[in-house]
Amino acid sequence: MIDFSLTDAQREVQRTARTFAEREILPRISELDAKAEYDRSIYEKMGSEGLLGLPIPERYGGAGMDYIAFALLCEEMERADTAFRVILSVHTGLNSLTLLQWGSEEQKQQYLVPQARGEKLATFGLTEPGVGSDAANLATTARRDGDRYILNGSKIWISLADTADHFLVFANVDRSKGHKGITAFIVERSFPGFSSESLHGKLGVRAGNTGILTFSDCEVPAANRVGEEGEGFTIAMSAIDQGRYTVAAGSVGLAQACLDASIKYAHERKTFGAEIGQHQLVKQMISKMYAGIESGRLLVFKAGWKKNAGERNTRETGLAKWYCTDHAVASALDAIQIHGAYGYSNEYPVERYLRNSKGSVIYEGTSQIHTLMQADYLMGYRKDKPLRMPQLPYEGEM
């Protein structure tokens, strides 16, 4: 039996997220975006509301909710602004859920618990100045020195770079081994040899912090290695499955914001004696937005269903990410077209939606990479190992 209805608990997450966005984000987002300022206090409020640990089990400080609830949260946050979905991607998806899957019990108690409670902010460091899609070719190195590792190198385009407390970082212990030399580490901001700086001049997501991490003989305790030496690439790829899921769900929210704004404006604006919503080509653009939102949400829910079951979902999550992000860009372009000249200015939010949408077709695997991945699945060139992902022990209502 297929049931598309949401549980009461999932609907409550949706309501809570929307209320939070309307109270804390929407009144300020135009100003924050225009000034390219991020406000950590909003992230801290997300934590105090329990939003940063939503899919983390209660015994580790979270709410114990499922992946469908998590998707709804991501959708509502990006419906307000992409910067606030991004924190769910890096803090919860890429970092906390990865520690839940791969971290030791000691690491979970020391790092996951305060992250799930919103007491500490966390992020993920994989991309380098010379490494994007080719994630197996990391230049950052890690050398074992007694009971610690010494890290050298840098990461770029890291969300929350200048404000996060904890970093899940990937480095090479042996570059001659390729991806089998990559190893994962938890780095604290206070560790000797660590520094960060912000990047400026971004096209979109201006209300979020993005920057560079630098490791200069950075000392990391051996106890902060996640998994074994050489397991880092597998850990990174499983983390990216979590991140792609959040991006896909968020992109549904961005497309929904485009549709909401377009319907409102199409009722308000009149030409030739009628609302522009009466014109057939405007109707066509609005209908196309809606169809893509419904299709994308179903792809996200299918991936979430597999994640809830603890099953490998790389193919389904990748398809959802590819489709939803491309549709968000198309929806933003149509929303601007519907708004006409006003859509070209910041008097209306749709120009911000377009700027924000463009990043999502680049990070977490470009649309081109996802095109190749899906073709490889279809042609039989790519086959995932029958690896079952750990099923979250939900303690809330399903």
The pLDDT tens digits for 285-338 are 999 999 999 999 999 999 999 999 999 999 999 999 999 999 999 999 999 999
- More confident: 375 or 179: 375
Query: What integer best gives the mean pLDDT of the chain?
Result: 95
d(C-alpha 154, C-alpha 141), whole Å? 9
Q: Average pLDDT in the 130-154 region?
A: 90
State mean pLDDT over 19-28. Answer: 98
pLDDT at position 389 is 57
Orientation of helix 280-308 relative to helix 67-80, angle to 10°:
140
The domain limits of the chain are 8-121, 123-232, 233-379
Q: Decide if pLDDT at 36 tops 90.
A: yes
Over range 60-88, report the average pLDDT: 98
State the pLDDT confidence band at 4, using cuts at 50, 70 and 90. Answer: confident
d(CA 73, CA 256): 14
pLDDT at 19 exceeding the cut of 70:
yes
Residues 6+ positions from 285 with CB-CB distance below 8 Å? 262, 334, 337, 338
pLDDT of residue 314: 96
Q: How many whole angstroms separate alpha carbon 108 and alpha carbon 103? A: 6
118-132, 196-210, 212-226, 281-295: lowest mean pLDDT where? 118-132
Say how many C-beta atoms besides its own lie within 10 A of residue 41's C-beta.
9
pLDDT beyond 50 at 359: yes
Given this model, what pLDDT does residue 136 score? 75
137 confidence band (pLDDT: 50, 70, 90)? confident
Q: What is the CATH number of domain 8-121?
A: 1.10.540.10
Weakest-pLDDT range from 27-41, 130-144, 347-361:
130-144
Residue 391 binned pLDDT confidence (cut-offs 50, 70, 90):
low
User: What does the pLDDT average to over 254-282?
Assistant: 97
User: Where do the DSSP E strands lie in the chain?
Assistant: 122-125, 141-145, 148-159, 166-172, 182-188, 194-198, 210-221, 225-226, 270-271, 274-275
Quick check: 89 pLDDT over 80?
yes
Average pLDDT over residues 169-198: 95
Distance CA 55, CA 177 (A): 35
The pLDDT, as a whole number, for residue 397 is 40
Q: Which of 44, 105, 364, 397 is catalytic?
A: 364
Closest CA to 129 of 154, 151, 158: 154
Q: Is the pLDDT of residue 390 over 60?
A: no
Strands 182-188 and 225-226: antiparallel
Quick check: is 351 catalytic?
A: no
The tokens describing 341, both together, are 């000249």
Q: Which CATH number fits domain 123-232: 2.60.40.1180, 3.40.50.2300, 2.40.110.10, 1.10.600.10?
A: 2.40.110.10
Q: What is the pLDDT of residue 392?
A: 57
Domain 233-379 fold: Butyryl-CoA Dehydrogenase, subunit A; domain 3 (1.20.140)
Q: What is the pLDDT of residue 199?
A: 96
Question: What does the pLDDT average to over 333-355?
Answer: 97
pLDDT for res 132: 67
